[in-house]
Amino acid sequence: MAETHSLQDMRQQAAVAAKVFIQRDYTNGTVCQFQTKFPSDLETRIDKQQFEETVRTLNNLYAEAEKLGSQSYIEGCLACLTAYTVFLCMETHYEKVLKKIAKFVQEQNDKIYAPRGLLLTDPIERGLRVIEVTIFEDRSLTR
Amino acid sequence: MKNCEYQQIDPQALPTPTPTPPPPHHHHHHHHHHGHDGDKREEPNRLRRKWEVFPGKNRFFCGGRIIVARQSGVLPLTLGLILVTSVLFFIFDCPFLVKHLTSCIPVIGGVLFIFVVITLLQTSFTDPGILPRATPDEAADIEKQIENTGSTSYRPPPRTKEVLINQQVVKLKYCFTCKMFRPPRTSHCSLCDNCVERFDHHCPWVGNCVGKRNYRFFYTFIVSLSFLTAFIFGCVTTHLALRAQGGKGLVFALQESPGRYPSLSNLVICFFSVWSILGLSGFHTYLVASNLTTNEDIKGSWSGKSGAECATNPYSHRNIFINCCSVLCGPMPPSLIDRRGFLPVDEYAQTSGTDIELPTLAAKSEINVCTQGTKGLLESATRSPLLSTPCPQGKPQSAHTCPDNSPTVNSDPSPELSTSCGARHTARSLSDTSPPRHTKTRSKKSKRAALHIPNPAFDDPASPTSPDAGPSTKGSGQKGATSASMH
């Protein structure tokens, strides 16, 4: 390939060793929850407690987004009365929580995962199917 | 992975000519060279949005804000019928009724009409809850997991996973097109070639799938439509009755009224549609109250029809009120396909050689290949002969994707998909049962051809598209279902 974009250069420096996918946990129905089981590939890289804490917080945030509470009912009824045109102007509760989640993931990456050569991908970028954890090779850490 | 990228951009225009391009690509290559030098400088700044490379059979408008199924079905007909009926009502019946009754009538009619049109458009243009396809890494990971748990026998391991949801065993199937295990209540619509969450059915009248995100719009649409048709029906009847009172009977009244033919035809249309749409609304009210989808109801997943011993719906909250609230007033889930997002830069860098003036057909299918999977090598090999025919539109990055895109790209059964496609096609040809489709009969003709054929054999609620191939009206069938299941 003739041209290499600068971002690709960066990625080539830290070669991807593996990717781990945390799948969804459907035991409570179709609400968005992820499995808290600690994947074996991450054993050498990160503390089990730490990781489970991250996943559990994510699960709580998603549960908050999908919560069927009085606020969501009021929002829903109001939307129905206006033929759902409010969705075009207002930001829904879910979207607000998604922004919170994005910030949380960013924060976790900066503080905990990047120093260990890992990268968490926000699940929304994978269609809320998986949490993708990219494991970079140790080589990049010793530079 | 890197290999995949290399192969993928090979046939496409690179700044340097490819060493041995396959013959079909020659004229493509020539085509590039003209505009290429001028555009080369602009290319790095031209970012592409994700909707332009969307692999499903959908069309996008307004820069990705509006999404419809590729076959818009009879949406124009639905809109037209609603418009014509309402306009006739306003022109011919309202003046008389305003004079003799009250002037609220056009107001109520107007409000209902606007409600109906808005919810119809929202149902048609909203993303129903499409699940984006698995990235190549994810697909490879799942394949690995399947192989690990699979047997070493000749038979490929069954691609199902069982999960326990609220103490109920639910089987998750593997989707060969999207390369992932489908979440519960998700189904793959073959008309749109997408997995849709909480898939209800594909409605040709609305021209879109009905799924998690637009079910509430759809429900509001049919409920308000039944109010509207009942209202118009009532008003027209009142109009004719009032005229008949004043004059010498109904026939004379009809003769003297200025809009007798429009009023009569309105009456007839409304009479037949009221029953079918009321029936449909009733059916869906039942579904909402028990938190079921049309798909599940037809297949009998939770009623024990399909052989499960004591299957109950694990998603129901066991309370009608809570079920209704959660389906209709719950939080609005976001669109997962991120239509207007920009393609990530590294993917773009792979396709940096792509000439913008290329027909969208070629560009789309190439990026399709990259995202389809590491086994995309095979796919690119089989698909490249198809790229020789340029898209007739040939316009660069127009707001409308070339409608001819999809048939050549998506209907190509690549080696690994051939089994599933073949299975689907044979299943389709074997049983000519119709899918959980919707028909709002507004004409006498289709009402007579009332058939309700359940299709428990189907995995995906798919069917060959032929809107006029005797659409099965759900009018009578639904009422039957409703009366049967509502004890």
| Cβ within 8 Å of residue B19, ≥6 positions away | none
pLDDT tens-place string over residues B147-183? 776 555 555 656 788 888 888 888 888 888 888 888 9
How much is the average pLDDT of B452-478?
40
Burial of A75 (0-12, 13-18, 19+ CB in 10 A): buried
Any chain B CB within 8 A of the CB of A127?
A: yes
Q: Record the pTM.
A: 0.68
pLDDT digits (tens, 9 = 90+) for A68-96: 888 888 888 888 888 888 888 888 888 89
Q: List Cα–Cα distances, B240 to A51, B84, B112, B230, B261, in angstroms.
A: 73, 19, 22, 15, 12
Name the residue facing A27 among B164, B197, B325 (closest C-beta). B164
Q: Residue B166: which of A2, A4, A29 has the nearest Cβ?
A: A29
DSSP assignment of A21-84, as one string?
A: EEPB--TTSSS--B--PPPGGGTTTS-HHHHHHHHHHHHHHHHHHT---HHHHHHHHHHHHTTT
Report CA-CA distances (Å) from B66 to B58, B82, B208, B335: 10, 21, 12, 12
Instruction: Give me the pLDDT at residue B245, please.
Output: 77
CA distances to A139, B94, B335, B437 from B242, rounded to whole Å, are: 89, 13, 51, 40
> What ipTM is given for this predicted complex?
0.84
Residue ranges of B 195-234 with Cβ closer than 8 A to chain A: 197-198, 216-217, 220
Asked if B166 and B317 count as a contact pair (C-beta separation under 8 A), the reply is: no
Q: Nearest-CA neighbor of A118 among A44, A25, A7, A31?
A: A44
- B303–chain A Cβ distance below 8 A for any pair: no
Token output for B45: 């700044």
Looking at residue B464, the DSSP 8-state letter turns out to be -
CA distance B465 to chain A (A): 29
Region for residue B189 given its phi and psi (left: phi exceeds 0; alpha: psi -120 to 50; beta: otherwise)? beta
Q: B323 pLDDT band (50/70/90 cuts)? A: confident
| Confidence band of B487 (pLDDT split at 50, 70, 90) | very low
Between CA A128 and CA B6 the distance in angstroms is: 29
Give me the amino acid identity at B230: A
Give the range with max mean pLDDT: B24-33, B261-270, B304-313, B390-399.
B261-270
Paired strand residues for A121: A132
CB contact under 8 A, B332 and A85: no
Does pLDDT of B113 surpass 90? yes
pLDDT, residue B37, reads 43
Among B141-150, B169-178, B286-295, the least confident range:
B141-150
Size of interface A-B (CB pairs under 8 A): 127
Share of chain A residues as helix, strand and coil, in percent rounded to the nearest 5: 55, 15, 30
> Under an 8 A CB cutoff, do B138 and A8 touch?
no
Which of A71-85, B2-16, B330-344 is least confident? B2-16
| Subunit contact A5:B183, Cβ cutoff 8 A | no
pLDDT of residue A19: 87
> Three-state SS for B203?
strand
Interchain contact A11–B (C-beta under 8 A): yes
Whether residue B243 is predicted with pLDDT greater than 70 in this model: the reply is yes
**Residue B336 with chain A: CB contacts under 8 Å:** 124, 127-128
On chain A, the residues whose CB falls within 8 A of the CB of B332 are: 76, 79, 87, 92, 94
- Whether B195 sits among the annotated catalytic residues: the reply is no
Per the model's pLDDT, the better-predicted residue between B210 and B459 turns out to be B210
Q: H or E element: which one contains B242?
A: helix B215-246
Other Cβ atoms within 10 Å of B330 Cβ, number: 18
**CB B485, CB B459: distance < 8 Å:** no
pLDDT greater than 50 at residue B39: no
For the stretch A20-78, pLDDT in tens is 898 888 888 888 899 988 888 888 888 889 899 999 999 999 998 888 888 888 888 88
Among the listed residues B4, B195, B203, B391, the single catalytic one is B203
From residue B208, give the alpha-carbon distance in Å to each of B166, B194, B260, B299, B438. 31, 11, 36, 21, 11
Question: Which residues 308-347 on chain B approach chain A with CB closer than 8 angstroms?
Answer: 314-315, 322, 325-326, 328-334, 336-338, 345-346
